[in-house]
Amino acid sequence: KERGENYKVDILEHIEDQTASLYSQGEFVDLCRGPHVPSTGRIGALKLLSSAGAYWRGDERNPMLQRIYGTSFPTQTELDAHLAKLEEIKRRDHRKLGKELDLITIQDEIGPGLVLWHPRGALIRLLIENFWREQHLQQGYELVYSPHVARLDLWKTSGHVDYYREYMFTPMKLEASEYQLKPMNCPFHIMIYKSHLRSYRDLPIRYGELGTVYRYERTGVLHGLLRVRGFTQDDAHLFCRPDQIEAEVSRVLDFTFFVLRTFGFSEFEVYLSTRPEKAVGSPEHWDQATVALEAALKGRGVAYQIDPGEGVFYGPKIDIKIKDVLGRAWQCSTVQIDFNNPERFGLAYTGEDGKTHRPIMIHRALMGSIERFFGILLEHYAGAFPTWLAPVQAMVLCITDKQRDYAEAVTAQIKAAGYRAEADLRNEKIGFKIREAEKAKIPFMLVVGDRETQAGTVSVRGRSGSNLGSLSVQAVIDLIRADVSQALRAQ
C-alpha cells in the first residue's frame, strides 16, 4: 500500500494459498504466478499485440484499467506461426462472421449478452434443434417444456439461492410472491418426475428440453455467443436406479460422440472429475458413482484424464471438450451425477422389494448451449457451414432479365424437392452476383444464361471456386441430396 499498489494488495487479499511469490528486476518488484523462463536469453522473439480497456475484475462498477497484450517465443519462426494463427482466429471470429453473414447481432438497445437471431441464423438454429429433437426421440427421451420463471421458493429448495445467487437475476415480486428467472432447468424436470408415483419398472426416465435460461454475467466477461446472459441449454435429466448408472452413462457417451461427429468434430479431450473437498452425499455414493463413470469410459474405449477434486458439489462428472479446426479445445458436453437434488426434493420410487428408494439423477448436456455451440460451429467452418446446415443451399443467378422466369422455375424445382434455394434476380453484373454468393458462403451457385435456359440446364459453381460444369436441375438436386446424406450418414 505504501507504494500505491492497491490493485496488487487486492490480488494478495484474494489469494487462497497462504504463500505468494514475487519477481524482482532491479528496483521493480511484482507479484508473479509463473511459470517463468530462467533467463531473458531464452526469449528469442517478442511481440506486443494490442491494448484495451478492461474493468478491474471484470466488474463495470470498478475503475477501467488499460490491459496490454503481448507474447514471446524462443524463435522468430514460432512467433510468426503463432501470429498467423491469431490472424486466422480473427478471420473466423464468430462476432465478425455473424454480422457479415447476417446471422446474429447483440444490440445495446436490447442489452449486453442477449442475442437477436436474424432469419438465416434462426434457420440454422432451427436445423440444429430439429436434429436434436429427432435424435432424442430415437434415443428414448421424452421431450418436455418448462416456464422461464418460477417462485423463488423452488430455487431455495434446489439450493440455487444458497450456492448460485451471484449468477441469478434479481427476483421479481408479483402478487405477494417472489419469482425468479430460471438459471437452470433441473428443478422443473424434477417436479415433472415428482408429479407421479414411480416404480423401479419405470426407470430409467429420460427428460430432454431445449430450455432457455438466464444467468447474470458481468459485462466485462461477456463475449459474443460464447458468454451470454440468456441462452438455450440442450438439457436432459435422467432418473435411474444406482445399478443403472453405468449403462445410462454409456448410452450418453455414445450419443454425445455421435452428435458431435455429425457436426464435424473428430478430436476430443475427456476428463473425469472426482469428489471436491466440499461435497454432499456419502463417500460410498461418491465411490459408487465415480466407479460407474470410469467403467462407462473404459467400456467405450474412451481415453480420459482424471481431474482430482473438480467434480461439482453434488456428484462426480465427465466433461468433454471438442477441438476445432485450429486445434482449440472448447468445453461443451457434460455428464454429471447428482445425489443432492433427489434428496432435497424427496424423490422416490418403489423398489422390487416394495420399499421406498431414492433415485439417482444424471444431468446431461451434449452441446452445452445452442448459442455457444453455434458460435463454435461458425468459427470452426469460418461461416461455410456444411450443406445440410447451410441456410441457403443453392443460389440461382440469372445473367440478364431475360432468364428471370427460368431462374424462378429452377429455384421452385429445387425447393419442391425439399432443399433451400433462392434466386438473385437483381439487375447486376453476373460477376458481382457470384462474388456476393461466395461471400455469403453458398454451397452451390447456379448460373443461368440464354444457353442454359434453352438447354434446361444450369452452370454449377462450388463456393470454393470449383467449376462443376453444366448440369440438369435434377442432377443438382441429386448433388445436394448426396452432400446432405453423406454428412448425416457418416456417423
Phi-psi region of 34 (alpha: psi -120 to 50; beta: other; left: phi over 0): left
Beta bridge partners of 374: none
What are the Cα distances from residue 402, in Å, to 397, 412, 430, 452? Answer: 12, 17, 13, 12
Beta bridge partners of 329: 323
Cβ count near 29 (within 10 Å): 13
| Contact criterion met (CB below 8 Å) for 185 and 209 | yes
Q: 180, 186, 244, 483: which one is catalytic?
A: 186
Nearest to 47 by CA among 82, 21, 17, 8: 82
What are the Cα distances from residue 103, in Å, to 3, 124, 195, 370, 409? Answer: 50, 9, 40, 14, 27
Q: 182, 206, 285, 363: which one is catalytic?
A: 363
Active site residue 235: yes
| Contact criterion met (CB below 8 Å) for 293 and 318 | yes
Q: Is 51 helix (H, G, I), strand (E, B) or coil?
A: strand
Active site residue 223: no
CB neighbours of 241 closer than 8 A, spacing ≥ 6? 200, 203, 204, 349, 351, 357, 359, 360
- For the sheet with 230-240, list strands across it: 142-143, 205-214, 230-240, 360-365, 329-338, 317-323, 268-273, 305-307
Q: 234, 235, 338, 424: which one is catalytic?
A: 235
| Contact criterion met (CB below 8 Å) for 233 and 365 | yes
Q: Distance between CA 308 and CA 304 in Å, rounded?
A: 13
Q: Is cis: bond before 204, omega within 30 of 0?
A: yes
The secondary element (H helix, E strand) that includes residue 190 is helix 186-194
Active site residue 317: yes
Active site residue 186: yes
Q: 233, 336, 393, 403: which one is catalytic?
A: 233
Taking the CA atoms of residue 454, residue 455, residue 456 and residue 458 in that order, the dihedral angle to the nearest 10 degrees is -100
Active site residue 32: no
Active site residue 355: no
| Contact criterion met (CB below 8 Å) for 274 and 307 | yes
Active site residue 363: yes
Q: Distance between CA 444 and CA 459 in Å, rounded?
A: 10
The secondary element (H helix, E strand) that includes residue 417 is none
Per the listing, cell 432479365 goes with: 401
Residues annotated as catalytic (active site), given as ranges: 186, 215, 233, 235, 237, 317, 363
